[in-house]
Amino acid sequence: MVSGLWRAIEGFLTSPRLLLLWFAGVLSGLLAMGLGAIVVIEGGLFNATASTPHSPVVALAAHTAFIRSVQVRAKGVKAPTAPFTAAQVAAGFRDYDASCAACHGGPGIPRADWAGGMTPTPPYLEDAARRWRPEELYWIVGQGVKMTAMPAWGETRSDAELWNLVAFLKALPDITTTDYLRMRTAAGRPRALNAPPASGALGGARPAPPPLPETGG
């Protein structure tokens, strides 16, 4: 069986006619792919609007590519050996609340209304610390994410400031809505930032004073 396979391979490799056919096949395959790409790109077939969601296949491929890209590239990052301090968390909070909360929200804190209009939509980060190691969070925050509107904050933040943000993200699972609002007050930041605006965060009308909920059945 195995020797038969070897013989077939040997026959293939030593036959100029078969090799030529194979190369012709590969070449025409590549040409077809190139032509297909040109048709899709030049023909405007890819729907680049943010108002339509990615197809499930594209979403899965892009999301997985992003996760793997971070996991592989963050391997070289060296996290500080000392545990994060309360001062780092507080400094990280100030930066997060000013620069990140509009897109990512907070515990019980909605994102800005327009964040729902982004594709992919920026996630809430309550459990980012469970999904990523500190080195990976540092990498994502510092380097940003292509085609998601996530900026590379390393362009405008120092290394220490990036680690402050990581310290805050690591602390976030333990921060309640009440804690977060208290931190806002302590930092002198507006308490009601990102409260649902008149238009509604997802384009809906602002809710009227809530009716009493049903009690049963």
Beta-carbon neighbour count of residue 132 at 10 Å?
Answer: 21
Residue entry with tokens 């048709």 = 39
Label each residue of 57-107 as H, E or C. HHHHHHHHHHHHHHHHHHHHCCCCCCCCCHHHHHHHHHHHHHHHHHHHCEC
Member of 11, 34, 190, 200 binding another protein (CB under 8 A): 200
**What is the sign of the dihedral through the CA atoms of 154, 157, 163 and 165?**
negative
Strand partners, 137: none
Member of 116, 144, 151, 154 binding another protein (CB under 8 A): 116
> Nearer to another protein by C-beta: 115 or 171?
115
| Whether 168 contacts 158, CB under 8 Å | no
C-alpha span between 60 and 62 (Å, rounded): 6
Member of 16, 76, 83, 207 binding another protein (CB under 8 A): 207
Smallest separation (angstroms) from another protein to the CB of 41: 24
- Residue window 121-140: x/- pattern of binding to another protein, with contact defined by CB under 8 A: xxxxxxx--x----------
Q: Across the chain, how many H-helices and E-strands are there?
A: 9, 0
Smallest separation (angstroms) from another protein to the CB of 37: 24
Task: Give yes or no for residue 211 binding another protein (CB under 8 A).
Answer: yes
**Choices 49-57, 75-83, 147-155, 157-165 (CB under 8 A): range interacting with another protein:** 49-57
> Nearer to another protein by C-beta: 162 or 181?
181
| Whether 125 contacts 172, CB under 8 Å | yes
Member of 24, 37, 59, 147 binding another protein (CB under 8 A): 59
How distant is the alpha carbon of residue 15 from its chain centre? 50
Smallest separation (angstroms) from another protein to the CB of 172: 10
Smallest separation (angstroms) from another protein to the CB of 38: 28
Member of 11, 25, 34, 117 binding another protein (CB under 8 A): 117
Task: Give yes or no for residue 49 binding another protein (CB under 8 A).
Answer: no
Task: Give yes or no for residue 192 binding another protein (CB under 8 A).
Answer: no
C-alpha span between 91 and 79 (Å, rounded): 18
**Residues near 171 by beta carbon (within 8 Å), at least 6 away in sequence:** 84, 89, 92, 129
Which stretches of the chain bind another protein, using CB under 8 A?
53-54, 56, 59-60, 63, 105-111, 113, 115-117, 121-127, 130, 176-178, 195-197, 199-207, 210-211, 213-217
